[in-house]
Amino acid sequence: MLVSMNWVQDFVDLSGLDIESLIKRFTLSTAEVEDIIYKGRDVSGVVVGKILSVENHPDSKKLHLLKVDAGGKIFDCVCGAPNVREGMKTAFATVGGMVGGMKIAARPVAGAMSQGMCCSEQELGISANNSGIMDITDDIEIGTDIKEAYGVEDIIFEVDNKSLTNRPDLWGHYGIAREFSALTGRPLRELEVYDTKQYSGLPKVDIDIKDKDIAYRYSGLKIQNVTRKTSPVDMRIRLYYCGMRAINFIADLTNYIMLELSQPMHAFDMRKVSSIEVKRADGEYDFDTLDGVSRKIDENTLMIYSAGEPVAVAGVMGGLASEIEDDTTSLLLESANFDCVSVRKTSTRLGLRTDASMRYEKSLDPELTVPAIKRYLKLMKDSDSGCEVISSLTDVYVKRFESEPIVFDKRYVDRYTGIDISEEQILKTLRSLGFGVELKDGVFTVTVPSWRATKDVSIKADIIEEVTRIYGYDNFKITTTVSPLYPVRLPQSKISEKSVKDILVREFGLHEVHSYIWCDAKKLKEIGLGVNGSVRIVNAMTPDNEVLRDAIVPTLLTVTASNHAFSDAFGIFEIGKTVEGLGSDGLCIERKKLGIVLYSTVKSERELYFMMRDITAFLCRDVKGMTASFTPSDDVREWQHPKNTANVICGEKGIGCISLLHPSVADKIGKKAVIATAEIYMDDFGDIEPAVTEYKEVSKFPGIDIDLTFVVNPAVSFEKMSSAWKGTENLIGVSLIDTYEGEEKSITLRYSFSSLDKTLTKAEVQQSVDEVVEKLKGMDVNMKM
């Protein structure tokens, strides 16, 4: 919102104060100021001049030769404006002056000397009107500096609208002036209004509020014989400086009151609208708003009707059919209050956010409607004394905001602020902001003014904000807390997550990536996969992103595909959330998972699969002190290799699976691509209590190693083979020495024997070895000959 300091100073005397530092304080105490704009500083030496004579330029059809009286001195001036006429008063820039930052010099124009320039309002920067030179009709002495005549010079500041969300009272200059009054300690002037009591005997305006749940108050007044068409210059300048366009006197004045009091108003042409009915639309229809756009109205829209016809979208915009026209002289003035939610929803639905709807959205003070009408009348009478009120000020007040007094003591303020703000200062601050305050026996009883009671201030803590923001946070003495000491323990899951990332990055050189919680259907399709998941977002921007992923690997595969040019071999991982459907309670089953993808164009499937197996085994060993085991799984998903997918078991607990990529998906990512994946449940893994190392005493006697080579039987896994030597006496370890991948696959294992009590003899060991070999033979695993 744009705020004019001239306007503010109508209500609070800030003379002798540095305006710029005041605006800075406003940022720190009230709302964020985004910009300060200095108006009129680029205009000087411009006076009210009178055009004494107008002659045609001999060489130009457009130009005229003028004699201009600039107050005691007469100048020749060449002017191209179409609206010049003898006797007209205008803004005359004298030689040596400045307009729009441009120096005015005497210079020949089309052969004739021009000693100055007649200016348009746009050239002066006070309106958008450039159709001709300024036409001054006010009774102002010739030669008066234009800046003395009108409020050309002003300081405008822009407040961030977002920071006014909770302050409906600050959407008008009077409310802003109240803040400056509190900040400076200067009194706030009372608003000058027109006394409407004298009209109480006149007929009422026919106002009927049908939908009382969303229309809180409607006040109206009928006025006729309005003859003024153009608004006073100062009013137009203020409207323009505050970002509005001047239209005509009747309409401008409604906007002016809105900018002054934050109360939106609407003027209906009384020829079209003479009674008011406020209700939701009685069906779906098209309605032309003031801006000339046809809007789709539905049954949820609160409308203003007159004689059965819709005439305005309540709180948003009036109708085109009943707008104030050039020949309008009589009006029905609306000053109303509507439900903030209803207005916001209507405005969103119509895609039409207006100055009025923005204000209503903030929960305006319903007490404002009547003063707004009285103020409107006052300003109208000031500029058009002949206007005539022909109704009583009619007011239908449906819903009042009730507010309870707030009670607290100084101790509460001290505790909440941590500093000592005196009782006098609390009293003074609250009173300057319009709060009613009583202090009795150390207890404050505060009544909230209506303009702060609609939603902003209702509890003690709200009062703290009022007191402290005016006190100034920069003035706070700051101190540390005094809190008891207690130890902080990181949860096991947090520690696990940190270790896992460290291992994957530092030990295995993988890259951590982040992605999205939803599937990207388009990217998945590119690698031949459908979406993986069942739970949907109802309002996703695109249907491609509406399914929440139930696995993390597919996402990582799309990331892998997009990085195929990065390197011949790389690995990525992500710890992220997935949603595995809905539980029996109807809530999403949210699981945190670790996904790993290894990509290579140089390694074999076997190498990569085993590398992935070793990575997960490393995690189990390093993070949890546990041995990982792997069991082949036939329960595979779309992207997993039907044969090479295995469950990962950490200790006793299944924590996820590893797999090679299904060849059809791998082909899509790259013809030579070999890809292994892992998906680990981080919650399950994280919760595992790490094992403490079980120390085994080391033998002091030399042991015996026996190497045996077996022909591999594809039907017998190593794990099954190992059952043959499980429990063998004095066998302390079996390690892999060699594998041979020739015509006949073979494996060489080293059996290490050792005793804690004695040096073993070859004969003692041989018996155990023979038993192992015999058992393996029973499994159809034979020694290599």
Partner 1 sequence: MQQKIDELVSRFKQDIEKAADSQAVENIRIAYLGKKGFVTEILQGMKALSHEERKEVGRSVNVLKADIEKQIAQRAEKIKEEQLLKRINESERFDVTLPTDFTQGSYHPITIIQREVEEIFLSMGFTIEDYDEIVDDYHCFESLNIPKHHPARDMQDTYYIENGQLLKTHTSAAQNYIMRKYGAPLRAIFPGRCFRNESTDASHENTFFQMEGIMIDKDISISNLIYFMKTMLTEVFKREVNVRLRPGFFPFVEPGFELDINCLICGGEGCPSCKNSGWLELCPCGMIHPKVLEYGGIDSEEYTGFAFGLGLTRLAMMKYGVGDIRDFNSGNLKALSQFTNI
Residues 147-186 interacting with partner 1 (rule: CB under 8 A): 163, 165-167
Q: How far is the CB of 506 from partner 1 (least distance, A)?
A: 6
User: Could you say which of 67, 228, 399, 511 contacts partner 1 (CB under 8 A)?
Assistant: 511
Binding of partner 1 at residue 474 (CB under 8 A)? yes
Q: Which of 14, 31, 93, 159 is close enough to bind partner 1 by CB under 8 A?
A: 31
Alpha-carbon distance values, 262 to 243, 252, 265 (Å): 15, 14, 9
Q: Are 170 and 30 in contact (CB under 8 A)?
A: yes
Among 170, 260, 174, 265, CA closest to 456? 170
Q: Which range touches partner 1 (CB under 8 A), out of 281-289, 412-420, 728-736, 744-752?
A: 412-420
Residue 672 binds partner 1, judged by CB under 8 A? no
Tell me if 563 contacts partner 1 by CB under 8 A. yes
Euclidean distance between CA atoms 230 and 134, whole angstroms: 13
| Least distance CB 279 / partner 1 (angstroms) | 21
Q: Which of 62, 404, 423, 516 binds partner 1 (CB under 8 A)?
A: 516
**Shortest separation between residue 444's beta carbon and partner 1, angstroms:** 16
Beta bridge partners of 157: 3, 36
Q: Taking the complex as a whole, how short is the minimal distance between the CB of residue 95 and partner 1, in angstroms?
A: 36
Given candidates 52, 112, 505, 711, which one binds partner 1 under the rule CB under 8 A? 505
Check residue 21 for interaction with partner 1 (CB under 8 A).
no
Query: Is the CB of 373 or the CB of 453 nearer to partner 1?
Result: 453
Q: Does 349 bind partner 1 (CB under 8 A)?
A: no
Q: Does 522 bind partner 1 (CB under 8 A)?
A: no
Phi and psi, residue 707, nearest 5°: -100, 130
Q: How far is residue 372 CA from its own chain's centroid? A: 33
Contacting residue, 130, 198, 300, 348, with partner 1 by CB under 8 A: 348
Among 72, 299, 486, 652, binds partner 1 (CB under 8 A): 486
> Which lies closer to partner 1 via its Cβ, residue 2 or residue 98?
2
- Tell me which stretch binds partner 1 (CB under 8 A): 427-435, 492-500, 625-633, 722-730: 492-500
Of 346, 384, 111, 442, the residue nearest 230 (C-alpha): 384
CB atoms within 10 A of CB 94: 21
Question: x-or-dash pattern for partner 1, window 444-463, by CB under 8 A?
Answer: ---------------xxxx-
Question: Which range in 22-30, 84-92, 607-615, 633-641 contacts partner 1 by CB under 8 A?
Answer: 22-30
Question: Quick one: which of 386, 364, 218, 235 has its CA closest to 304?
Answer: 218
Tokens of 53: 């004579």
Distance CA 782, CA 712 (A): 8
CB distance 270 to 307 below 8 Å: no
Q: Which residue in 630, 629, 620 sits closest to 690, CA to CA? A: 620
Provide the 10 A C-beta neighbour count for residue 729: 12
Per-residue binding string, partner 1, 588-627, x by CB under 8 A, is x-x-------------------------------------
Could you say which residues in the range 523-552 bind partner 1, by CB under 8 A?
Answer: 535-541, 548
State residue 503 phi and psi, 5-degree precision. Answer: -65, -45
Distance between CA atoms of residues 550 and 548, nearest Å = 7
Nearest approach, Cβ of residue 416 and partner 1 (Å): 6
Question: What tokens does 746 get?
Answer: 């073979």
CA–CA distance, 158 with 241 (Å, rounded to integer): 11
Task: Please report how close the Cβ of residue 476 comes to partner 1 at its closest, in angstroms.
Answer: 6
Identity of the residue, 13 or 355, whose beta carbon is nearer to partner 1 in the bound complex: 355
Q: Report the residue from 28, 439, 711, 712 that binds partner 1 according to the rule CB under 8 A.
A: 28
Touching partner 1, residues 303-342 (CB under 8 A): 340-341
Provide the phi-psi class of 441: left if phi over 0, else alpha when psi is between -120 and 50, else beta.
left
Which position among 185, 243, 418, 632 is part of the footprint of partner 1 (CB under 8 A)? 418
Closer residue to partner 1 (CB): 24 or 775: 24
Q: Where in 564-593 is the site for partner 1 (CB under 8 A)?
A: 566-567, 569-572, 577, 579, 582, 586-588, 590
Q: Report the candidate in 220, 300, 235, 232 with the shortest Cα–Cα distance to residue 268.
A: 220
In terms of C-beta density within 10 A (0-12 exposed, 13-18 middle, 19 or more buried), how is residue 309 classed?
Answer: middle
Residue 473 binds to partner 1 (criterion: CB under 8 A) = yes
Task: Please provide the distance, in angstroms rounded to a whole number, between the alpha carbons at the two ends of the chain.
Answer: 93
